[in-house]
Structure 1
Amino acid sequence: MSNEDQNTDELETGNESRNIEDDADLKGAGVKYPPPIVFLMIILLGGGLDYLWPIGMGVSGNGALVGGVLILVGATIAILVNAEFKRRNTAIEPWKPTTSIVTDGFYAWSRNPIYLGFCMLSIGIGIALNSFWIFISFIPGALAVQIIAINKEEEYLEAKFGQEYLDYKNKVRRWL
């Protein structure tokens, strides 16, 4: 095989490798289950447990107000984070490619503020409904999202953005 043939093979192999990377990026982090749906399903499971084995939390008349505030704050975080992703023209859905890393706003305090917002929603609904099961549903919700989404998202962002993402990851905590 001549040097010219060998160089051609290397170039072709290099192009094939690049195409595989491009194809992988079309799927983003490869998350299969939407995190909001995961949280919703776990909150509904908490509601089912509350129906079967009701355990109140002894919340007074202000429970609805406190729960409502947490619901409002959690929903506001989710809405504002979504708006920031749209403003930067990058996908918020973890199964789509990311074009940039968001590191300001809520992302200056947490690498996963939208998931924190979902936790606040869960806690707020539990308090508002005086439901222990819904209140604690944020724990399995956070664990499930950690396993099915966050780990994959972080691996994807590290592979795509390299040192830029590692610097951000070293500076900002995963949750709080």
Structure 2
Amino acid sequence: MQALELKIPPVVLVVLFALAMWLVALWLPSVALPPLWGQGLAGVLAGSGIAVALAGVLAFRRANTTVDPRIPQQTSSLVIRGIYRYSRNPMYLGFLLLLTALACYLMSAAAMILLPLFVLYMNRWQIAPEERYLLEKFGAEYQTYTKQVRRWF
């Protein structure tokens, strides 16, 4: 199963999950919510997701390290400042918030069921390999960081 590790760019994975959510929402009945309520919540979640993900990207840029998680060997520094004081994976958290916003916009409880699958996939095939590499490269400093800051939030 290691063949799947770090292979699919997270942005592509988000697009694939968004497409799956849209298809599920088409095939299964929607949640009975007033449209403006679902759209309002979707807007708040989408804005939050974009802000959280961008804060992660900016922290990486400031540290002059790669944002491409498929090549962890190009990591030049351990980023633990800014939003990384609260989440070890703010970019992925931002993506999750965007997918949650989509489910709210679609008003689809069925689409929401795909959200835990996104988290499980990211934990197993994206985050776990990244964490192994970071532990190997940064040792005790990374281990201390993981004890202080949670993976998602």
- Regarding TM over 0.5, the answer is yes
Distance, in Å, in 1 between the alignment partners of 2:32 and 2:93 is 25
Q: Is residue 2:48 matched to residue 1:73?
A: yes
For 1:120 and 1:149, the matched residues in 2 are separated by: 17
- Offset of 1:147 from its aligned partner? 1.2
Aligned residues, how many?
146
C-alpha deviation, 1:44, in angstroms? 0.9
Instruction: Name the SS of the counterpart of 2:88 in structure 1.
Output: coil
Q: Structure 2 residue aligned with 1:119, among 83, 88, 96?
A: 96
Moved more, 83-92 or 131-140: 131-140
Gaps of 5+ in 1: 1-29
One of 156, 161, 164 as aligned partner of 2:133: 156
Whether 2:3 is the aligned partner of 1:31: answer: no
Structure 1 residue 135: Cα displacement: 2.8
Offset at 1:151?
0.3
Letter in 2 for 1:57: V
CA drift of 1:134 comes to 2.8
Instruction: Report the alpha carbon displacement of residue 169 of structure 1 after superposing the two structures with TM.
Output: 0.8
Q: Name the SS of the counterpart of 1:162 in structure 2.
A: helix
Trace 1:20-169 onto structure 2 (pairs within 5 A): 31-53=6-28, 55-60=29-34, 61-96=36-71, 97-169=74-146
Residues 88-135 of structure 1: CA deviation (Å, up to 9, x unaligned): 110011123111111122111111111111111011111122122333
In structure 1, distance between residues paired with 2:152 and 2:105: 24
Larger Rg: 1
Structure 2, unmatched stretches of 5+, are none
Alignment root-mean-square deviation, CA:
1.4
